[in-house]
Amino acid sequence: MRYSGLSILRNALSGQKNWAPAWREPAPKPQYDVIIIGGGGHGLATAWYLARNHGITNVAVLERGYLGSGNSGRNTTIVRANYHIAGNEPFYAHSLKLWEGLEQDLNYNVMMSQRGVLNLCHSDGQFDFYARRGNAMRLHGEDAELLDREAVRAHAPFLNFRDERFPIRGGLLQPRGGTARHDAVVWGYARAADSRGVDLIQNCEVTGFRIENGRVRGVETTRGYIGAGKVGMAVAGRTSQVAQMAGLRLPIESQVLQAFVTEGLKPVLPGVITYGMGHFYISQSDKGGLVFGGDIDFYNSYAARGNLPMVEHVMEAGMAMMPMIGRARVLRSWGGIADMTMDGSPIIDRTPVDGLFLDGGWCYGGFKATPASGWAFAHLLATGESHETARAFRLDRFATGHVLDEEGTGAQPNRH
Ligand SMILES: Cc1cc2nc3c(=O)[nH]c(=O)nc-3n(C[C@H](O)[C@H](O)[C@H](O)COP(=O)(O)OP(=O)(O)OC[C@H]3O[C@@H](n4cnc5c(N)ncnc54)[C@H](O)[C@@H]3O)c2cc1C
């Protein structure tokens, strides 16, 4: 069923009781052309673009819990394309363009809200760096505005302009950045993929791979063996664990990233704001809650819950940036497991096992990558070739030394 004003009116007349479920609950078939492990945004987007762009629909997405139960349903929803280096920026620029047409593409309201992303800077050196980053973004066709201190004050007068230690020097604004509702993105891709015949199989954990003569033949799951021509992994914080089942050791560490939300407040934030002297980012949800986060917890873990020292660390950075946040009451906090690569950039590539492909290493920032990641991973699965926007996201870069070390995006091994 297509969603439209007319379908809402028609269903209103029958007490909203006749909506079809948004997707089916099929039993797994014995064999698929493509199996995607992981029913987060990346896995579902891959399934959708496999069907939409390549006509491949004999596809199953296998999810150990429910769709969106991983980081796709736990993130702080920030969407942006404000990268510096050439391997990254074209990919995120493509992603932002896909975001801008996503609701029409999926026929689903993902609550895309382009209220802008402002990165604050606090020294001349940082200001110069942001000028260079803004120029790089513009060279790749993105929007970027360098703001001086007074322009930042006009944009967000509640920030701490009296801080003697870390005075606000200016900021880099990407007006087309913003937020989107994370669950809606999952549901929109799921519904769209299902409508093309993709099987979305929940409560189905992959427990092993069947590999014969160096080629993947299928996966062992909690619901039995399922055969596949090709298998793609899109399991975020579990990437290293799942890859290990295929005998692969990846340059990835799993770490908890926490997020926080306050009680609902009247509209106060003009958009997303990030602090330049500590890791802190904040936006305001459509319900009014201030949604914020900061650093990863400084140890490896597969437990999706955080620890108190990091709570204190994040609150401290928030108070330094905008002291008024101290008046807001935090309602909830949660954690997700982030798959951190050692250069902060992702991997979309084939693996040494024939027919087994990898989409992972999204670190802090894979939500905004969801459309472009699905697009590029589907391209790789369908054609065997890397998509032009994702050619730099190779697995062997860690062996060859061609790393994509984007400052401030990664695991920063020196801080471990
Ligand atoms: C607190 C927090 C805040 C964040 N904020 C932002 C942000 O503001 N902006 C941004 O761009 N990014 C952000 N991120 C990062 C972003 O959420 C992730 O990079 C992105 O959601 C990854 O999507 P995914 O589909 O790859 O992973 P997930 O959504 O985690 O999906 C992977 C799925 O694989 C499933 N799975 C795992 N193992 C198996 C198995 N063996 N068998 C079957 N299924 C399996 C999991 O259950 C999970 O549902 C944040 C992350 C966190 C934790």
Look up the pTM and report it.
0.96
Q: Is the Cβ atom of 82 under 6 angstroms away from ligand 1?
A: no
89 Cβ below 6 A of ligand 1 = no
Do 31 and 226 touch, CB atoms closer than 8 A?
yes
pLDDT digits (tens, 9 = 90+) for 54-104: 999 999 999 999 999 999 999 999 999 999 988 999 999 999 999 999 999
Beta carbon of 80 within 6 Å of any ligand 1 atom: no
63 in contact with ligand 1, CB cutoff 6 A = yes
For ligand 1, atom 21, the nearest C-alpha belongs to 72
From 36, 75, 370, give the residue whose CB has the most ligand 1 atoms within 8 Å, as the site to mutate: 75
What's the token pair of residue 137?
């973004």
Q: How far apart are CA 193 and CA 75, in angstroms?
A: 22
Q: What pLDDT, on the 0 to 100 scale, is given for residue 2?
A: 85
Render each residue's pLDDT in the chain as its tens digit; 416 residues.
789 999 989 999 999 898 989 999 999 999 999 999 999 999 999 999 999 999 999 999 999 999 999 999 999 999 999 999 889 999 999 999 999 999 999 999 999 999 999 999 999 999 999 999 999 999 999 999 999 999 999 999 999 999 989 999 999 999 999 999 999 999 999 999 999 999 999 999 999 999 999 999 999 999 999 999 999 999 999 999 999 999 999 999 999 999 999 999 999 999 999 999 988 999 999 999 999 999 999 889 998 888 899 999 999 999 999 999 999 999 999 999 999 998 889 999 999 999 999 999 999 899 999 999 999 999 999 999 999 999 999 999 999 988 888 766 654 544 43
Among 190, 42, 178, residue whose Cα is nearest residue 107 = 190
The pair of three-digit structure tokens given for residue 135, joined into one six-digit string:
């120029």
Q: Give me 228's structure tokens.
A: 């596949």
According to the model, what pLDDT value does residue 29 have? 98
Residue-wise pLDDT tens digits, 270-326: 999 999 998 899 999 999 999 999 999 988 999 888 889 999 999 999 999 999 999
Q: Any bridge partners for residue 118, and if so which?
A: 173, 273
| H or E element in which residue 233 lies | strand 224-233
- Residue corresponding to tokens 């995120």: 92
The residue type of 201 is: I
Query: Which residue ranges form the domains of the chain, and what is each CATH number?
Result: 114-177+253-341 (3.30.9.10)
CA dihedral 144, 149, 154, 157 (to 10 degrees): 120
pLDDT of 306: 85
Q: Establish whether residue 410 lines the binding site of ligand 1, counting it when its CB lies within 6 angstroms of any ligand atom.
A: no
Extract long-range pairs of 89-92: CB within 8 Å, 24+ residues apart: 89/136, 89/137, 89/140, 89/142, 90/140, 90/388, 90/389, 91/369, 91/372, 91/376, 91/389, 91/390, 91/392, 91/393, 92/368, 92/369, 92/372
The helix/strand/coil state of 203 is coil
Which ligand 1 atom is nearest residue 242's CA?
41
- Determine the Cα–Cα distance for residues 201 and 63; give it in Å rounded to an integer: 6
- What is the model's pLDDT at position 413? 46
Mutate to test the pocket of ligand 1, among 334, 364, 409 (most ligand atoms within 8 A of CB): 364
Is the C-beta atom of 62 inside 6 A of ligand 1?
yes
Alpha carbon distance 198, 163 (integer Å): 54
